[in-house]
């Protein structure tokens, strides 16, 4: 099965589910587990097999321009749902559970009810009952998961760009809240905003350091 990653994602997981009578297949992925600030964002996408945009791949492997073009195409030709879990939920639950919550919300928001879910990673969120499978590195193996990774990333990047307008100095418009060097030094200099994840070590350490 290793040849898939060389060629990029394809429709084989979807086809296999459809051969078992599970006709509507949704890909599910999340973005934003690692950042120190902002929500975690998930997307669920049901592709139309007759209209799959060319060039779908793991969002991290695409240029910003290509990602945006695919995002726009997907909104026109697929059933797309995007959802978040907030910073408060991340701090209350932990990042893994919060990212699963965002995935559950994304699936619930689809216009159609999927018969089968393809979930990026090695765990199936416990709120997702019904037929599903977890696919490690799924965003570079299944086009439906690639599609979900693209729309989730574009949406979350926009959220962080928007927050950056209200909280300048942290570089969120370019680092999307990830712990870049400039973000960490801004955190030291400017302090913690309401959008920082207090349960994450670098933020926690600044909040609770001995003065």
Indicate the annotated binding residues for a divalent metal cation.
29-30, 120
Q: Is 61 exposed, middle or buried (0-12, 13-18, 19+ CB in 10 A)?
A: middle
Residues paired with residue 37 on neighbouring β-strands, in sequence order: 196
Instruction: State the DSSP string of 16-82.
Output: HHHHTT---EEEEEEE-SS-SBS-EEEEEEE--TT-PPTT---GGGS-HHHHHHHHHHHHHHSEEEE
Q: What is the DSSP letter of 119?
A: E
CA atoms within 13 A on the CB side of 148: 35
Token pair listed for 140: 């570079």
Token pair listed for 141: 């193996």
| Binding site per annotation, positions | 29-30, 120
- Nearest 5°: the CA angle 66, 68, 69 is 65
């Amino acid at each position: 099965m290793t040849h898939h990653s060389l060629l990029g994602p394809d429709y084989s997981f979807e086809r296999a589910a459809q051969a078992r009578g599970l006709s509507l297949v949704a890909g599910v992925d999340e973005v934003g587990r690692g950042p120190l600030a902002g929500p975690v964002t998930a997307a669920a996408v049901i592709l139309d097999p007759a209209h799959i945009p060319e060039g779908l791949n793991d969002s991290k492997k695409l240029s910003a321009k290509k990602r945006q073009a695919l995002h726009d195409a997907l909104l026109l030709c697929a059933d797309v749902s995007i959802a978040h879990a907030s910073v408060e939920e991340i701090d209350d639950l932990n990042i893994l559970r919060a990212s699963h919550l965002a995935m559950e919300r994304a699936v619930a928001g689809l216009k159609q009810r999927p018969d089968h879910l393809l979930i990026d990673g090695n765990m199936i969120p416990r709120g997702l009952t019904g037929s599903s499978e977890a696919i490690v590195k799924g965003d570079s193996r299944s086009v439906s998961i690639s599609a979900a990774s693209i729309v989730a990333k574009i949406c979350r990047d926009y959220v962080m760009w928007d927050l950056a307008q209200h909280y300048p100095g942290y570089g969120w418009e370019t680092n999307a809240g990830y712990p870049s060097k400039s973000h960490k030094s801004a955190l030291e200099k400017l302090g913690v905003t309401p959008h920082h994840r207090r349960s994450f070590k670098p933020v926690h350490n600044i909040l609770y350091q001995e003065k």
